[in-house]
Amino acid sequence: MKIALEIVLFVVLLSLSAFFSGAEAAFFSLKDSNRKQHRINSQVSNLLTNPRRLLITILTGNTIVNSAMAFFAAIITADIALSVGANLPLLLIAETIILSIVILLVSEITPKILALRNSEAFANKIALPIRIFGAFLFPLAALLYKFTHIITSWIPHEKEELFDSEDELRTLADLGADRGTLKDEERRMIKSVFDLDETLVREIMVPRIDIIGMEQMTSVRDAIDIIRQNRFSKFPLFEDSIDKIRGILYAKDVLPYINSNDNNGIKLTSLMRKPFFVPETKQIDDLLKDFQERRENIAIVVDEFGGTGGLVTVEDIVEEVVGEIHDEFDEEARLLHSLGNGRWLVDAKTTINDLVDEIPIDFPDDREYDTLGGFMFEQFGDIPNVEDVTEYQNYSFRVKSLAENRILKIVLTKMENVDESR
């Protein structure tokens, strides 16, 4: 009867050891993605807020259980030796070998493998029992936590780099998307962040020809009309020409004078703010830092000759990462529209990077143009006429529309479909 009770207690302790081993594997195999996707409950999340304390609690419980299990195994072995008259030292050696194998298989390897098969579900089920055990073991676990903290603080260690290179992170983003951990849009955003230090201001700016500004001597009444017509929040103020920008007019600074009958004495120069100038060759990640430090959100881009090359805003940089942002006044129009049968209608403002994302054309890396319009001017060497065509690789580029000296729309066609597109 005594031996039977001891065996029952041994089995209970063996089960508890398996429980703690499975808990260790389940909790510490969980990733941040499990939390974000709400696969684990709040109790599991609370336990994981202090992983070191959780680990000490589990290991303390497992150590106590394993020690008690070894103690009962020795008692059972001694009782069996006494009851049958066997050689106790030899039996204890056999017990040690058998117990090691049993613990390894039953309370270590097997429970950890089972826990890892569905770590989220297992962690959710055992979170409450672990918290109860943690409450009982708190005094001892807290003492061990403090002791280990003191010891580890004495040991010098270098901060481990999780990843050796940007390429590794890009590869991980691809793997995450392929396996369903990341959405395609999330993968694109991750890669876009790395591209910020490779993208120049001139690649994302609003070109000079598209800037809507005001002459600095414009009356407040006329300025209000321009703001209403264009619905932008900021306008460059220039003297004589767009190459001499003197300030930035914020629409909100003009609001107090919208319904005022006496605004003739107000000059826009008294309302304008100091402009922030940046070179067109500046990297946009550096520009973003400048925007943050200066608390600016708009900059005038200066070309190599000192003239105005364009205009860039914080929104332009953000759109490089998250994609196009449309506010309540934006016209939601795609720059590239598929016409079917290997044909596309493309806005000349479309950047080469955006174009190759949609159509596999290999443009040279050392090109001196950033947009499709710039490519067309380089191909023709002069201002083309409507319906003029140039060919590049396996595609033809036909000028669809012009405005004075500016190309507006281009029809891009795969070579085998050229005749059908005319």
Mean pLDDT for the chain? Answer: 82
What type of residue is 94?
A
8 Å CB contact between 237 and 215: yes
Whether residues 83 and 125 fall in one domain:
yes
10-34: b (≥16 Cβ within 10 Å) or e: beebbebbbbbbbbbbbbeebeeeb
| Averaged pLDDT, 344-353 | 88
How far is CA 242 from its chain centroid? 38
330 found inside a domain: no
pLDDT at position 213: 92
pTM value? 0.50
Whether residues 302 and 414 fall in one domain:
no
pLDDT at position 422: 47
Q: Mean pLDDT lowest for which of 106-115, 135-144, 375-384?
A: 135-144
Give the range of the structural domain holding residue 414, as residue numbers without chain letter. 336-421
Whether residues 19 and 128 fall in one domain:
yes
- Beta strand pairing call for 395-403 and 277-279: unpaired
What type of residue is 14?
L
How distant, in Å, are the alpha carbons of 260, 312, 375, 395, 396 from that of 417? 60, 38, 21, 9, 9
What is the CATH classification number for the domain harbouring 313? 3.10.580.10
3-state secondary structure of 405: coil
3-state secondary structure of 278: strand
Q: Mean pLDDT lowest for which of 141-145, 348-352, 397-401?
A: 141-145
| Averaged pLDDT, 375-401 | 91
Q: What is the helix, strand, coil percentage profile of the chain, to 5?
A: 55, 15, 30
From first CA to last CA, the distance across the chain in angstroms is 99
pLDDT at position 324: 65
- Backbone torsions φ then ψ of 29, nearest 5 degrees: -100, -5
Q: Mean pLDDT lowest for which of 3-7, 219-223, 241-245, 339-343?
A: 3-7
Look at residues 289, 322, 355 and tell me which one is the last residue of a structural domain. Answer: 322
Indicate whether 421 pLDDT > 60: no
Whether residues 231 and 149 fall in one domain:
no
* Nearest Cα to Cα of residue 303 among 368, 353, 381: 368
327 found inside a domain: no
Q: How far apart are CA 177 and CA 55, in angstroms?
A: 31
Q: Which residues pair with 399 in a beta bridge?
A: 410
How distant, in Å, are the alpha carbons of 280, 285, 361, 363 from that of 200? 7, 9, 21, 17
Residue, of 84 and 354, whose pLDDT is higher? 354
Whether residues 123 and 188 fall in one domain:
no
Whether residues 205 and 302 fall in one domain:
yes
Give me the torsion for CA of 345, 348, 350, 355, rounded to 10°: 50
Whether residues 148 and 232 fall in one domain:
no
Indicate whether 363 pLDDT > 60: yes
| Averaged pLDDT, 395-420 | 83
Whether residues 205 and 271 fall in one domain:
yes
Q: Mean pLDDT lowest for which of 1-15, 123-137, 141-155, 395-409?
A: 141-155
Domain count, the chain: 4
Q: How far apart are CA 77 and CA 64, in angstroms?
A: 20
Write the secondary structure of 166-191 as one string of H (helix), E (strand) and C (coil): HHHHHHHHHHHHHCCCCCHHHHHHHH
Q: How far apart are CA 326 and CA 319, in angstroms?
A: 10
How far is CA 207 from its chain centroid? 29
8 Å CB contact between 354 and 385: no
* Nearest Cα to Cα of residue 286 among 371, 353, 370, 201: 201
Query: With 0-12 CB in 10 A as exposed, 13-18 as middle and 19+ as buried, what is 237?
Result: buried
Indicate whether 74 pLDDT > 90: no
| Averaged pLDDT, 160-172 | 63
Whether residues 223 and 298 fall in one domain:
yes
Q: How far apart are CA 343 and CA 353, in angstroms?
A: 18
What is the CATH classification number for the domain harbouring 398? 3.30.465.10
Indicate whether 43 pLDDT > 50: yes
Tokens 């849009």, residue located: 185
